[in-house]
Amino acid sequence: MTERPLTPEAGEAIAAIATPVGVGALAIVRMSGRGVLEIADRVFRKKGGTAFSFKEAEGFSAHFGTLSDSRGMVDEVIALVFRAPSSFTMEDMVEFTCHGGPVVVRHLLQALLDSGCRLAEPGEFTRRAFLSGRIDLLQAEAIGEMIHARTESAFRTAVTQMQGNLSRHLQEMRAGLLQSCALLELELDFSEDDVEFQSRDALRLEVGRLQGEILRLVESYREGHLLTEGVATVIAGRPNAGKSTLLNALLGHERAIVSHMPGTTRDYIEECFIHEKTMFRLTDTAGLRESDEAVEHEGIKRSYRKISEADLMLYMIDSSSGDFLKEAAAARELRQRHPESGMIVVANKTDLASDAGGRIAQLQSETACPVIAMAASKGDGLNELKSTMAGMVEGLDKLHEASVLVTSLRHYEALRNAADSLDNALQLISAREPAELIAFELRSALDYVGEITGKVVSEELLNTIFDQFCIGK
């Protein structure tokens, strides 16, 4: 772990296509780093024959001209110039807007590579924006989340994070921790004099207050992650209950293989669908039943793991079957085993059941869960099920309005660790242990919080984060 340098040198010149591959009206190829102005001069001629050099061009100026490689003109382009430090990466940058054909774009990129750029790695522009201090790690991640957001609320949350609300909050906490830590470390210099620069009572109050704030953030993850990852929803139940049919109906297309043979969903299938503003991540599990077959057994083991991670369970029961009440007991038991996840009982095959109404009432009283009557193969009851699912996570679409919210597992884990370190510190303070032990725990909490914004980072962590970006971002 190292504190990152405040003003790194501009990196070597990199180039990449910044727009999606394919045919479009326009496309953008961008460059950043040392010497990009000279490289641009080599490939670009301004229209009108006037003498022009990018080295003299002002930042935020646009220039119309032709771009050529060794074989001649590639395209007419607009060149947009950004001068360091007023650019995304804080380095000199030039962006060329050209016609959006895949071959044009490839030729343009090749011309830049032939003139001295190297191809950028995934997320390298954003990585440079982070390393130069233009944005912190949280904001860099927020850019990635914004690009990949599939719902309005995930998008709004990412925008808030990009604006730096959570970053500021964490910085304030870090400043508080740093202050207490500095005072404790000062005591070490006066160890023979037995002084306390901050009384232990005052220290306990301050550390307790900071821990409380961290725990509030930790708590916000419980719902926050649903915004970005979707509500993990598991369809469980016995083989042949109609789980794959339901999955297809919810997704609106044939994804799972529906079959008459019990136990054909060997593994789990995961796909997302959006209902109104909420994203659900759906998993169809292998049928829950004892099995001798090795493959199926493995599937069942994974099913149970998926169920234990679920935010919402849809327990499917064949309501036309003779032992539907036995299934109700199984649903109730599963619910008791995972009290933290919500459960909806789906009473399927009502088209085959005699006295469907009576059976549903029985299921309701046996399971104490919402029960939806359904005929999955006909799509009956589907809308009611979707509304009930949305109702179970009501308020989620308003969650982004909270000013600070933790939505990423990485941030959640760092905060949990920070809270644990502060817990240790509080115990040491109560036991009147020496200042250096307390200071050690406060330092480790500081490092954990610093990991989130990137104040303290390892190369490995940066690679993990930026590898998820596309080339050109």
From 46-54, 79-87, 330-338, 343-351, span contacting ligand GDP (CB under 6 A): 343-351
Phi-psi region of 257 (alpha: psi -120 to 50; beta: other; left: phi over 0): beta
Can residue 291 be called a binding residue for ligand GDP (CB under 6 A)? no
Can residue 89 be called a binding residue for ligand GDP (CB under 6 A)? no
Can residue 349 be called a binding residue for ligand GDP (CB under 6 A)? yes
Give the nearer residue to ligand GDP in terms of CB position, either 343 or 375: 375
Can residue 381 be called a binding residue for ligand GDP (CB under 6 A)? no
Figure out which of the listed residues 32, 180, 220, 240 binds ligand GDP, where binding follows CB under 6 A.
240
Q: Return binding residues for GTP.
A: 240-245, 259-265, 284-287
Figure out which of the listed residues 80, 140, 241, 393 binds ligand GDP, where binding follows CB under 6 A.
241
Q: CA 311, 316, 319: angle at the middle one, nearest 5?
A: 150
Give the nearer residue to ligand GDP in terms of CB position, either 260 or 432: 260
Can residue 360 be called a binding residue for ligand GDP (CB under 6 A)? no
How many residues bind ligand GDP (CB under 6 A)? The answer is: 19
176, containing H or E segment: helix 165-189
State the CB neighbour count (10 A cutoff) for residue 421: 24
Most distant CA pair in the chain, distance? 88
Instruction: Give the pair of three-digit tokens for residue 30.
Output: 């961008």
Q: Where are the beta strands (DSSP E) in 338-457?
A: 342-348, 371-373, 456-457
* Binders of ligand GDP in range 261-280 (CB under 6 A): 265
Query: 3-state class of 116 per DSSP?
Result: coil
Q: Which of 65, 74, 82 is nearest to 110 (CA)?
A: 74
Can residue 351 be called a binding residue for ligand GDP (CB under 6 A)? yes
Beta pairing class for 118-119 and 278-284: unpaired
The one-letter amino acid code at 411 reads H
Can residue 245 be called a binding residue for ligand GDP (CB under 6 A)? yes
Q: Return binding residues for Mg(2+).
A: 244, 265
R_g of the chain computed on alpha carbons: 29
Q: How far apart are CA 444 and CA 319, in angstroms?
A: 56
From 100-108, 155-163, 372-380, 399-407, span contacting ligand GDP (CB under 6 A): 372-380
Q: Which residues contact 284 (CB under 8 A, 6 or more apart)?
A: 235, 243, 244, 246, 247, 256, 265, 268, 269
Can residue 438 be called a binding residue for ligand GDP (CB under 6 A)? no
From 149-157, 181-189, 237-245, 433-441, span contacting ligand GDP (CB under 6 A): 237-245
Q: Which of 169, 162, 184, 183 is nearest to 214 (CA)?
A: 169
Question: Smallest gap, in angstroms, from Cβ of residue 305 to ligand GDP?
Answer: 19
Q: Which of 396, 103, 97 is nearest to 232 (CA)?
A: 396
Q: Return binding residues.
A: 30, 95, 134, 240-245, 259-265, 284-287, 473
Can residue 331 be called a binding residue for ligand GDP (CB under 6 A)? no
Can residue 33 be called a binding residue for ligand GDP (CB under 6 A)? no
Can residue 253 be called a binding residue for ligand GDP (CB under 6 A)? no
Question: Smallest gap, in angstroms, from Cβ of residue 140 to ligand GDP?
Answer: 42
Figure out which of the listed residues 157, 161, 244, 278 binds ligand GDP, where binding follows CB under 6 A.
244
Figure out which of the listed residues 258, 272, 325, 404 binds ligand GDP, where binding follows CB under 6 A.
258
Question: Smallest gap, in angstroms, from Cβ of residue 266 to ligand GDP?
Answer: 11
Can residue 375 be called a binding residue for ligand GDP (CB under 6 A)? yes
Figure out which of the listed residues 32, 126, 348, 453 binds ligand GDP, where binding follows CB under 6 A.
348
Phi-psi region of 118 (alpha: psi -120 to 50; beta: other; left: phi over 0): beta
Q: CA 307, 312, 318: angle at the middle one, nearest 5?
A: 75
Give the nearer residue to ligand GDP in terms of CB position, either 25 or 261: 261
Prior bond of 85 cis (ω within 30°): yes
Question: Smallest gap, in angstroms, from Cβ of residue 317 to ligand GDP?
Answer: 10
x/- mask, ligand GDP, residues 58-87, rule CB under 6 A, reads: ------------------------------
200, containing H or E segment: helix 200-229
Question: Where are the alpha helices (H) located in 6-151, listed in sequence order?
Answer: 36-43, 102-114, 124-131, 137-148
State the CB neighbour count (10 A cutoff) for residue 473: 21
Can residue 251 be called a binding residue for ligand GDP (CB under 6 A)? no
Q: Which of 214, 217, 206 is nearest to 438 (CA)?
A: 206
Question: Smallest gap, in angstroms, from Cβ of residue 251 to ligand GDP?
Answer: 13
Can residue 383 be called a binding residue for ligand GDP (CB under 6 A)? no
Question: Smallest gap, in angstroms, from Cβ of residue 452 to ligand GDP?
Answer: 41
Phi, psi of 407 (to 5 degrees): -120, -5
DSSP state of 377: T
Give the nearer residue to ligand GDP in terms of CB position, either 166 or 376: 376
Figure out which of the listed residues 49, 71, 253, 260 binds ligand GDP, where binding follows CB under 6 A.
260
Question: Smallest gap, in angstroms, from Cβ of residue 248 to ligand GDP?
Answer: 8
Binding residues for ligand GDP (CB under 6 A): 239-245, 258-260, 265, 287, 348-349, 351-352, 375-377
